[in-house]
Structure formats: C-alpha cells, structure tokens
Structure 1
Amino acid sequence: MNFSSNPQVSVIIPVYNGEEDLEESIDCLRSQTYPSDRVEYWIVDNNSSDRSAEIIKAAIADPSNKITLHYLSENRIQSSYAARNAGIRAARGEIIAFTDADCRPESHWLSTLIQPFWKKNIGIVAGEIKALPGKSLLEKYADREETLSQKHTLSHPFCAYGQTANLAIRRSIFEEIGLFRPYLTTGGDADICWRILRKTDWEIEFSAEAIVKHRHRSTLKGLRNQWRRYGESNRYLHELYGVELMRESDRREYLYRLTRWLLKEIPIATGKAIARRSSAIDFLKTPIGLFCLSARVSGQRESQLLEKAQKIEWLDRPFE
C-alpha cells in the first residue's frame, strides 16, 4: 500500500432499528477531520423495521451533506456480521474501518485510527471505546469498570482482538482469510482477528487516541442481555478454537461473595459515605457484578454453535 498520501478509507456501519441513534451518529461522521475526498461511509441496514432506512436516505439526499454517504441493505441474514460483509463487498477503500450506529466517533477518530497503517507489518488497528455520559446507576457502574474498553480484548489470554465498534483492517487481508462468518451472532470480532493473527504474519496495534464513545446499558434487562451475549461468545469461540470456557461459580462462591459484601464492603462504603468519599456504586458493586456473572454463565451454558455459523463467506465465492 502506498502511503505517500492519505489512503482511501471505507467506513462500514451496520444498523438494526437504530432510528434513535442514526442522526447523531451521522453528524459524528460529518465532523471527521480525515480528508472527506478520501473516505466513503457505508451504512448497512440489517432488515430494520423502524425509520432507519428513511433517516439514512434523507441524510444522503441532504444538499448540505459534505461526505460520501451510501445506503446498503442486508435483509437475507439477521446478523451484524452479514451486514458488515455486504459493506466490505461494496467498499472501495484500501482500509476498511468499522464502528456501530450507536457509537459516537470523536472528530479525530478516523485520522488517528489510520495512522498505524504506515507500518508495513500492521494489518489491524483497534481504537479505544469509552462511555457516553450516563445518569443511571448501571451506566455509571459499567463506566467505572470500563466494560467496553479494548484493553480487555487486547489482553485476551488466547489471542488479542479488537471489537468492531472501533476497528480497522487492510482490505487486502479479507482476500487472504475471508470475510466474517455471516451466521455468527456474537464472537465474530474475535474470530476475524484471530484468523488474521494466527494464519498470517500481520500484527495488531492499539490506537488509544482513536476514540469512539458508546452508551452503556441503563436497564437490568439490557445489562443481562449484554452479559448473556458475552457468555454465548465464550461458548462459540470454545467450539471454534478450543478456547477455555469460563469457570462456573457454584452457590458456595456466590454466598461467600455476598457475605463478604455485607460484612466487609458495606461497612467500608458506609465509612466513606460519612466522609463523603463514596457513591451508590461502592455499595452495590458486588451485587451488580454477580448479576453480570450469572448472565454470562447462563449464556455460556445454554448456547450452542450452529453448524451454519461455522461457515466463512469469501469475496470471490459464497462459503467455505
């Protein structure tokens, strides 16, 4: 790749029923400092039933729009990975960058994310994911725990990977290792990175200043679904790669942690509260953590990788 000038970049954003996020998300794309004539944005509607398609098409038709914005539809397979594949097939950029419709890229996001590709050995760049300001207790808990930070996935004991909420990959690599597994519903971020890092000589780099912001879950239902999906990912990656499954805690361990919370953590938090140095999170950190753990264990225990989810889609042929 010739980096004598800014490389052509394609940004791919899957969306499913994202009408509440799309307008603000598109505004973030318009604010990017990367040269607008060197980047195209593909928003891929994954069979939404709300006003997502209408919002995207209106943004494209807006005469004040100064970016190259495209609309695509992927309604064959209900999967964000299938939607990303549709975007990759349409993309013309040398670098393919990914984010999500409910993310808010900072204005220098793309410029910073692309910089490491000057190094000839770098095939993947992961940017950081931070939290949008949240008011609810659950949002503040996730923010303190840095739940979405790439530092967790980049330090995975099996192999590093980046999350597609903030990730960029050289387009030529997809010709080497194939596209995302289109029927996979979670875990595809790890799978694509591991296929690259384990089957080729390409390396991954972290770009801490390439930041997108994401809203944490504000309800128990949303939080449970999120952590249950993490458990499902554990199971799928175990079946695909033999990754060690998360150890399931028994009742005695839950009881021990709750007892420790009541007898040790609550008194400490109370003392801090008297000194005005604590918050509600200090009191409820352990119960919320156990709630997340239970959801993750359930997802891991109750899920099973479907045979078709193992199939890889390719640029020049359907499946392998």
Structure 2
Amino acid sequence: MNTTGLRVAAVIPVRGHAALLDGCLESLRAQSMSLDEVIVVDDSPEGSLEQLPGVRVERSGGRGPYAARNTGWRSSGADVILFLDARSRPRPGWAERLVEAFTDPDVVLAGTGVEVSSGPSLAAQASHRAQFFKIRSFVSTPFFLPYLPTCNLAARRSALEAVDGFSGVRSGGDADLCWRVQRTTGGRLEGVEEVLMEWVPREKVLDLLEQTYRYGKSNHALRTEWSDRGAPPRVPLSLPRLAKRAGVVSLRLGLARLRGDAERSAALLADACGVATEIGYRVAVDRARRSSAPPTGRGAGRARARVGA
C-alpha cells in the first residue's frame, strides 16, 4: 500500500525482447505496493506490440531505448518514475522501498541492489559470476559521479523535467542523466544496497561480449562528454597488451570447454567480458583520434583548396 501520497509509474522500453516482457510485468503485479501506472513503450519502428491488460502501451518509433524512456515518463503525470527494462525482475518490496526514499525532499534519484541471475547457458553463468550491476561500483566507488543503471532507476519527475530527460545517446545515457540531474538540481542520489531486483542475462556468448564491448565504448563517450566538468581521462591498454590478453583468455576458455569444466569456463568468459570492455574503449579512443587528426596527403590538399576558395 502506498502511504506516501506520491503517484508512481513504471516505464519499460521494449524492442526485440518482447518475449521477456511477461516476466517483468508479472513481477510488477506482485509488488507489495500498487502502482498508479505501468507504461510499456514499444520502440520497434513498426510499433507492433499489442495492447496489454492493465498496461498502457506507448510508441516511440524506433528511436532507441532512451528516447523510448522519455516517451514513457512524459506521457505520465506521476510524481515518481520507476525505470526498468524487459530483463528486470523486481522483488515484491522493490517499488515500496524506492518510493519511501522520495519522502526525503532532497532525494531526486534512487535505486536498489541488483543481482544478475544465472541460467543453463555459459553466457548466463558468466554474467552471474561477473555481476555487472553491483551497486557499490555505481554509487560508492564510481569512476566519476554516482549513478544508477536504467534497469533499476527511480527518478523524481521534477528532476527529469529540470534536465529535459535522457539525452539521445545509444549507451551510457543512464550515467549522463544521473550526472545532469545531480548537477542541475543539487539533489541527492540514494543507493539502497539491499538486493531487491534480479536481472535476466543474455543467453548467447556473442550477445554478452557485444554488451560488454558497448560498455567500453560508452565509458569513453562519457569521459569525453564530461571531461570539461571533471570526468577523469583514462589511457587505454596498448594494442600488444590487449592482443595478448585476448589471446590468452580465448585459449584458456577453449581448453576449459574441451575439458567440460563449466565453472572454469564461466570464470574465463567473465574475464573475456572484461577484455571486450577494454577493446571497446580502445576502439572508441582510436576513432576519436582519427576524427580529430588533421588531414594528410590528398585530403590535406583538398582541405587547403577549400579554405583558399
């Protein structure tokens, strides 16, 4: 039961993972506190998701997950917005605990501990071992300001309005939003260490590696975007060192799988995810250097001709 007087809405963007949505909605129905609205935002270009019982479906036209979240919260009049994704499985006390945090007027953002579930696949077991969403790494020991992932993020509506919601980035928009909210409003982010959310991992190894590769690219984008506001730069690993790490992990993982050592395989795939993150960061750094380098050769000649024209 909600005794805070605050209206509460949950927003879930969906594109390509509609099969996972039922589990998320079922978990929301099991909450100890009833929600005023549950909004699913269909971000597929064709808007193919049908209406669902007890749920309002909005459409965002395939503009990406952060644009979809903006569509969701802007369509609601709730005071507190609970952001999840289709892989999120909130435990029964999740919503109630988060909404309680907003009875403190200084709190503008909140989230709880998240546990990545395991499963029968190697990718799921490696994800469970890696635990990408440990709240301490986001709140207690972040590389810059504290933030929370959008699989488990509650925001005060007035704070979202103050910064005009999420920016249009592909990845890293959760950190960017949290940082802008804190800087603009002066409000506080509250991290609840109790694990009140489970997250369903990817089942395919390539999907998992792509996910962690993208983490590296978004980390570089965030450091670059926020460099003039204090975000610390980071030197990427050298190509020889990266190649060596990737080769060693791949060889050991292959041998572990040949031996049928599931536990060792999961540990090594978790290590491979760390390598994928470093590769993503290195690729982003190299692309940024190339785009900022002055043209040479024929390109330089054409550039000088344009300037002189």
Say whether 1:250 aligns with 2:234: no
Q: Flag structure 1 segments of 5+ consecutive residues without an equivalent.
A: 61-66, 305-320
| Distance verdict in 2 for CA 1:210–1:116, change over 3 Å | farther
| Distance verdict in 2 for CA 1:260–1:301, change over 3 Å | closer
Q: Which amino acid aligns with 1:130?
A: E
Say whether 1:157 aligns with 2:143: yes
Matches within 5 A, 1:305-320: none
Mapped partners of 1:135, 1:293: distance in 2: 27
Mapped partners of 1:226, 1:299: distance in 2: 15
Contact 2:130-2:270 at 8 Å conserved across structures = no
Mapped partners of 1:258, 1:71: distance in 2: 43
| Distance verdict in 2 for CA 1:282–1:224, change over 3 Å | closer
Q: Which amino acid aligns with 2:19?
A: E
Map of 1:147 onto structure 2: 132
Matches within 5 A, 1:238-317: 238-242=223-227, 243-254=231-242, 279-282=264-267, 286-287=271-272, 289-299=274-284, 301-302=286-287
Map of 1:200 onto structure 2: 185
Contact 2:208-2:273 at 8 Å conserved across structures = no
CA displacement at 1:240 relative to structure 2: 1.9
Q: Which amino acid aligns with 1:96?
A: I
Q: Deviations over 1:233-266 (max 9, x none)?
A: 123213321134443212443477589989xx99
SS of structure 2 residue aligned to 1:21: helix
Out of 71, 82, 96, the position equivalent to 2:57 is: 71
- Residue correspondences, number: 280
CA displacement at 1:10 relative to structure 2: 1.1
Q: Which amino acid aligns with 1:129?
A: V
CA displacement at 1:176 relative to structure 2: 2.0
Mapped partners of 2:74, 2:34: distance in 1: 23
CA displacement at 1:102 relative to structure 2: 1.9
Map of 2:12 onto structure 1: 13
Contact 1:14-1:84 at 8 Å conserved across structures = yes
Map of 2:27 onto structure 1: 28
SS of structure 2 residue aligned to 1:196: helix
Q: Which amino acid aligns with 1:289?
A: G
Say whether 1:133 aligns with 2:118: yes
Say whether 1:123 aligns with 2:108: yes
Map of 2:152 onto structure 1: 166
| TM-score (normalised: structure 1) | 0.76
| Distance verdict in 2 for CA 1:213–1:286, change over 3 Å | closer
Mapped partners of 2:170, 2:69: distance in 1: 12
CA displacement at 1:157 relative to structure 2: 2.5
| Distance verdict in 2 for CA 1:280–1:240, change over 3 Å | closer
Quick check: 156-165 or 292-301, which moved more?
Answer: 292-301
| Distance verdict in 2 for CA 1:240–1:284, change over 3 Å | closer
Mapped partners of 2:173, 2:39: distance in 1: 19
| Distance verdict in 2 for CA 1:103–1:4, change over 3 Å | closer
Contact 2:129-2:270 at 8 Å conserved across structures = no
SS of structure 1 residue aligned to 2:279: helix
SS of structure 1 residue aligned to 2:197: strand
Mapped partners of 1:303, 1:202: distance in 2: 33
Alignment identity in percent? 24
Mapped partners of 1:300, 1:228: distance in 2: 13
CA displacement at 1:120 relative to structure 2: 2.0
Contact 2:12-2:40 at 8 Å conserved across structures = yes
SS of structure 2 residue aligned to 1:20: helix
Q: Which amino acid aligns with 1:87?
A: G
Mapped partners of 1:257, 1:97: distance in 2: 39
Say whether 1:180 aligns with 2:166: yes
Mapped partners of 2:69, 2:15: distance in 1: 12
CA displacement at 1:291 relative to structure 2: 4.0
| Distance verdict in 2 for CA 1:285–1:123, change over 3 Å | closer
SS of structure 1 residue aligned to 2:196: strand
Q: Deviations over 1:117-140 (max 9, x none)?
A: 122211110222211232223322
| Distance verdict in 2 for CA 1:18–1:303, change over 3 Å | farther
CA displacement at 1:28 relative to structure 2: 1.3
Q: Which amino acid aligns with 2:14?
A: V
